[in-house]
């Protein structure tokens, strides 16, 4: 047999009397009732940090956060100058098993990425929330880290999210980003320098793009990895 059957233990005399157990159950319910009735609810909006034993969450005014790694609503990750990181390479649209991503590319002047999505539409009704688009993206330009599920709408068209609706959330820059490495005439030089300062350093694993950045060293990366005992 592939699983183990646990037999209920036979009821003892007190349980067979029935009444004491009923009284005990009513007591548990009454305890919760009086506690919720008289004790102050902790108003902390971050419900995970609440001190009181009140467990009821007043949905939808209060929402329990989804765990990290939850694949929520998509977002197009912005650069610090407000443009999308996306370069319209169609990798997400290619890998999408539900064919829910529609992209139209266009040329952009004054930026080494040359190409940007003139239109980027995701049909959230068609999406199967597999996260392949996030995996396929070579530029970390699409993420599902919003921690929201798709909001309900009255129409189907409301579930078609275009590039304006999708472009939101915290901006991200990496030191190897072409617009930081090579400069972009379309971006104000001061702003560009600020973006360079705030750019994220190299991730632990070396990628080919990293080697295009001045100061990059494979040997240094290897030494660091050795130090970590990797």
Residues that bind other proteins (CB under 8 A): 87-91, 93-94, 96, 99-107, 112-115, 119, 121-123, 126, 138-139, 156-157, 160, 178, 182, 206, 208-209, 211-214, 216-219
Nearest residue (CB) to other proteins, 46 versus 157: 157
Q: How far is the CB of 131 from other proteins (least distance, A)?
A: 16
Q: How far is the CB of 180 from other proteins (least distance, A)?
A: 14
Q: How far is the CB of 129 from other proteins (least distance, A)?
A: 15
Cα distance between residue 225 and residue 230, in whole Å: 5
Nearest residue (CB) to other proteins, 32 versus 213: 213
Q: How far is the CB of 160 from other proteins (least distance, A)?
A: 7
CB-CB contact of 128 with 97 (8 Å): yes
Q: Is 159 helix (H, G, I), strand (E, B) or coil?
A: helix
Q: Which residues contact 121 (CB under 8 A, 6 or more apart)?
A: 101, 102, 103, 160, 161, 162, 163
Q: How far is the CB of 86 from other proteins (least distance, A)?
A: 9
Nearest 5°: phi and psi at 135? -65, -40
Q: How far is the CB of 48 from other proteins (least distance, A)?
A: 37
Q: Which residues contact 97 (CB under 8 A, 6 or more apart)?
A: 128, 130, 132
Nearest residue (CB) to other proteins, 47 versus 95: 95
CB-CB contact of 139 with 172 (8 Å): no
Torsion region of 127: left, alpha or beta (phi above 0 gives left; psi -120 to 50 gives alpha):
beta
Q: Which residues contact 60 (CB under 8 A, 6 or more apart)?
A: none
Nearest residue (CB) to other proteins, 72 versus 178: 178
Q: How far is the CB of 226 from other proteins (least distance, A)?
A: 17
Which class for 167: exposed (0-12), middle (13-18), buried (19 or more C-beta within 10 A)?
buried
Nearest residue (CB) to other proteins, 87 versus 166: 87
Nearest residue (CB) to other proteins, 36 versus 213: 213
Cα distance between residue 70 and residue 124, in whole Å: 16
Nearest residue (CB) to other proteins, 87 versus 195: 87
């Amino acid at each position: 047999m592939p699983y183990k059957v646990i037999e209920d233990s036979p009821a003892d005399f007190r349980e067979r009397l029935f009444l004491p157990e009923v009284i005990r159950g009513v007591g548990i319910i009454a305890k919760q009732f009086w506690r919720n009735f008289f004790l102050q609810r902790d108003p902390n909006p971050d419900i995970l940090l609440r001190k009181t034993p009140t467990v009821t969450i007043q949905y939808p005014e209060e929402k329990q956060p989804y765990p990290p790694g939850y694949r929520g609503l998509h977002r197009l990750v912005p650069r610090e100058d407000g443009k999308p990181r996306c370069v319209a390479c169609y990798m997400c649209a290619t890998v999408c098993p539900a064919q829910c991503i529609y992209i139209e590319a266009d040329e952009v002047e004054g930026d080494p990425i040359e190409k940007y999505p003139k239109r980027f539409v995701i049909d959230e009704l068609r999406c199967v929330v597999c996260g392949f688009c996030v995996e396929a993206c070579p530029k970390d330009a699409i993420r599902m880290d919003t921690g929201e599920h798709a909001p309900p709408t009255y129409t189907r068209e409301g579930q078609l999210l275009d590039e304006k609706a999708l472009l939101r959330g915290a901006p991200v820059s990496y030191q190897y980003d072409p617009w930081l490495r090579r400069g972009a005439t379309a971006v104000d030089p001061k702003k560009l320098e600020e973006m360079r300062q705030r750019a994220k350093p190299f991730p632990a694993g070396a990628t080919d793009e990293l080697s295009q950045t001045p100061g990059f060293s494979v040997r240094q990366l290897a030494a660091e990895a050795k130090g970590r005992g990797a």
